[in-house]
Structure 1
Amino acid sequence: MITVTGARKNYGDFAALDDVTVNIPSGSLTALLGPSGSGKSTLLRSIAGLEELDSGTITIAGKDVTGVSPQKRDIGFVFQHYAAFKHMTVRDNVAFGLKIRKRPKPEIEKKVNELLEIVGLDGFQHRYPAQLSGGQRQRMALARALAVDPQVLLLDEPFGALDAKVRADLRTWLRRLHDEVHVTTVLVTHDQEEALDVADRIAVLNKGRIEQIGEPADLYDRPSNDFVMSFLGSVAKLNGQLVRPHDIRLGRDPSMALAQESGTAESLGVTRATVERVVYLGFEVRVDLRNEATGELFSAQVTRGDSAALHLEAGETVYARATRVPDLPETPVVTPEQEPVTVSVVGQV
């Protein structure tokens, strides 16, 4: 387990970490998610020993490593830009850490072969980094980090320099790799989809503090505040409340928007809106709408079938209602040292 307690780090007047406390379970894959300047990379680098805290402690597997050098923390670190040795082959890059530790040649040979097979680079041993694709270079970097059997694997935006399709493929691959090797992994990302896709737990950071930490489904369905809800997935503002676009029901008249529930359109918050634009996104359709009462813009997500059934076109009038509205409390429902607290939701169908 990694335990960070009361971590503070300032750069002049800027508080990169402001009394951060978090536990990262052994064998988990935890994502540190937040916007630029939220403190996620500073927290990761502090765990690695690359940044010195102003105050606070860091323990790994029960050992206080706050003042321990990075080389003695038993950590593998993968950066966004590979940091490969260009003059070395793939085999030599992966074997580098083992050679530095003066491991026997047969052990190095066996370990490198095993890792190259695991990361899907078997047969690429004699190529140089320049002869690999971006995704292949990143897999080589991960193999190199894992070669020394670290207690902890730290990934700092590892897929940020890659295109969307390669990132998606590597996310799937990373999840499979983690399930195979079970090394405690911490991933820094600003990509919400990436965090939801690969992580067991997500810590959402903002302005040097942890807003909420928990399992992806808990954070998505029961966000602790407006920031967490807005940052972890798409949101729309309907009748003064933040809702998920896929939780907005559309109809051609108020009664159609009510579905099977009883009550009036007014009591259930049905809104008259004008369709501004219809955008086809594969199976889903995004409908950009304008609230006719307030002039505010918001979006709903529907299936292609629903869009076709409603004959949605720009300029037409529809009625919208939120089928599920998260109850956002004033104070967080999850803190680093607490279990998730169940929050009720209203209007669910």
Structure 2
Amino acid sequence: MITVDTARKHYGDFLALDDVSLEIPRGSLTALLGPSGSGKSTLLRSIAGLEDLDSGTVTIDGRDVTDEPPQRRGIGFVFQHYAAFKHMTVRDNVAFGLSIRKRPKKEIDTKVDGLLEIVGLEGYRARYPAQLSGGQRQRMALARALAVDPQVLLLDEPFGALDAKVRTDLRTWLRRLHDEVHVTTVLVTHDQEEALDVADRIAVLNAGRIEQVGDPETLYDRPANDFVMGFLGSIASMGGQLVRPHDIELVRDREEALARDAEVADSPGVIEATVERVVRLGFEVRVDLRADSGEHFAAQLTRRDADHLHLHRGETVFARAGQRSSVVDRVVLASAAPAGAGRLADEAVRQAAIA
């Protein structure tokens, strides 16, 4: 287990961590999710020992590592930009941490071969990083981090430099890898979909504080406050309340809409609206609407429901919230923070030090 207790960190006048406390269970995959400047990368770097806290403690499996250097914390770290040694082959990159520990050659070969098979790079041992795709380089970086049998694997926006399709594929792969190796993993991301897809638990950060911690379903369906709801998925404003766009039901008949709405407690009510645009987004359809009050909002429908309604621009429909569980009263937008706070520098050298 990783325990962070009342961690506090300033960068000049900027408060990056404001007495943050967090427990990360052994063997879990926990995502630190938040906007730029929320403190998520600073928290990760503090766990790794790459940042010294102003106050507070970090313990790993009951051992206080607050003042320990990175290489003595049992940490594997994977950066956004791979931090590969360009002059080394894939095999030598993965073996690096074991080599500097002067492990026997037979042990290194066995370990590296096993990891390359796990990450699907067994046929790329002799290639150099420049000869790999972005996704392959990231898998190589993960294999290198795992080679030294870390107690904890820390991932700082590991897929941020990749295109959308590769990111999706690697998310699935990372989840399978975690289920196979069971190493305690902490993932920093600003991508809500990535956190919901991969993590067992999510800690949502905002302005140096943790707003809510829980499993993805709980955070999405029962957000602790307006910020969590607004950050963890799309939202729409109806009658002064926030709802998920996919919870909005569109009905052509006003009386039918009122009858259905009576079944929902604390509903924002039935809103008469004009269709401004219908956008087909693959398997779903977004309907942009304008209420009589002038308020603009969007509903997200399945293709089947949209085809049934057969909506066109300029038509009048009646909108209602189909369920209450994801409705809150208002949203607070995340405040901006200085660019670059908590980012990593000299990545290859730092990762080598941790390894």
TM-score normalized with structure 2 length: 0.90
Match of 1:117 in 2: 117
Contact 1:224 1:328 in 2 (8 A): no
Report the residue type matching 1:298 in the other structure.
F
Residue identity matched to 2:247: D
Distance in 2 of aligned mates of 1:243 and 1:231: 13
Matched, 1:249 2:249: yes
Correspondence 1:272 to 2:282: no
Indicate how the Cα distance of structure 1 residues 267 and 242 shifts in structure 2: closer, same or farther if over 3 A, else same. closer
Amino acid at match of 2:175: R
Gaps of 5+ in 1: 331-349
Aligned to 1:323: 322
Letter in 2 for 1:209: R
Bigger RCO (CA 8 Å, 6+ sep): 2
Per the alignment, residue 218 of structure 1 pairs with 218
| 1:45 to 2:27 alignment | no
Q: Is the 8 A contact 1:224 1:329 kept in 2?
A: no
Matched, 1:77 2:77: yes
The number of residue pairs the alignment matches comes to: 328
Report the residue type matching 2:313 in the other structure. A
Report the CA distance between 1:262 and its aligned residue: 4.9
Distance 2:263 2:200 in 1: 40
Change (3 A) 1:165 1:327: closer
Tell me the alpha carbon deviations over residues 185-209 of structure 1, each in whole angstroms, 9 at most, x when there is no partner. 0000000000000000000000000
CA distance in 1, matches of 2:328, 2:317: 27
Query: Aligned with 1:123: secondary structure?
Result: helix
Task: Give 1:25 deviation, angstroms.
Answer: 0.2
Matched, 1:229 2:229: yes
8 A contact 2:242–2:329 mirrored in 1:
no
Where does 1:189-200 land on structure 2 (aligned, <5 Å)? 189-200=189-200
TM-score (norm 1): 0.91
Residue 151 (structure 1) aligns with:
151
Structure 2 spans left out of the alignment, 5+ residues: 331-355
Q: How many angstroms apart in 2 are the aligned matches of 1:147 and 1:216?
A: 30
Tell whether the 8 Å contact from 1:225 to 1:329 is kept in structure 2 after alignment. no
Q: Indicate the residue corresponding to 2:133 in structure 1.
A: 133
Pairwise CA distance, 1:268: 6.8
| Residue pair 1:34, 1:40 contacting (<8 A) in 2 also | yes
How far did 1:261 drift? 6.0
- C-alpha distance in 1, partners of 2:75/2:203? 20
Q: Retained in 2: the 8 A contact 1:8–1:17?
A: yes
Alpha-carbon spacing, 1:61–1:268, altered in 2? closer, same or farther (3 Å)? closer
* Counterpart AA for 1:188: V
Contact 2:275 2:317 in 1 (8 A): yes
- Contact preservation (8 Å) 1:7, 1:57: yes
Contact 2:241 2:327 in 1 (8 A): no
Counterpart Cα distance in 2 of 1:173 and 1:267: 40
3-state DSSP of counterpart to 1:82: coil
Comparing 301-310 and 249-258, the one that deviates more? 249-258
- Counterpart of 2:295 in structure 1 is 296
SS at match of 1:276: strand
Q: Distance in 1 between matches of 2:254 and 2:132?
A: 57
Residue number in structure 1 paired with 2:341: none
Question: Who is 2:36 aligned against?
Answer: 36
Q: Secondary structure at the match of 1:173?
A: helix
The one-letter code of the counterpart of 2:233 is G
The Cα of 1:217 is off from its aligned counterpart by 0.2
The C-alpha deviation readout for 1:80-117, integer Å capped at 9, x for no partner, is 00000001000000000000001000000000000000
Report the secondary structure of 1:295's partner residue: coil
SS at match of 1:145: helix
Q: In 1, Cα distance between the equivalents of 2:259 and 2:108?
A: 64
- Which stretch of structure 1 is more off in the superposition, 319-328 or 85-94? 319-328
Secondary structure at the residue paired with 1:110?
A: helix
* 1:93 aligned residue: 93
SS at match of 1:186: strand
Worse-superposed segment, 255-264 or 61-70: 255-264
- Match of 1:272, SS state, is strand
Question: Is residue 2:179 matched to residue 1:179?
Answer: yes
CA distance in 1 between counterparts of 2:271 and 2:79 reads 47
**Distance in 1 between residues matched to 2:221 and 2:300, nearest whole Å:** 17
What is the aligned partner in structure 2 of residue 103 from structure 1?
Answer: 103
Q: 1:283 aligned to 2:298? A: no
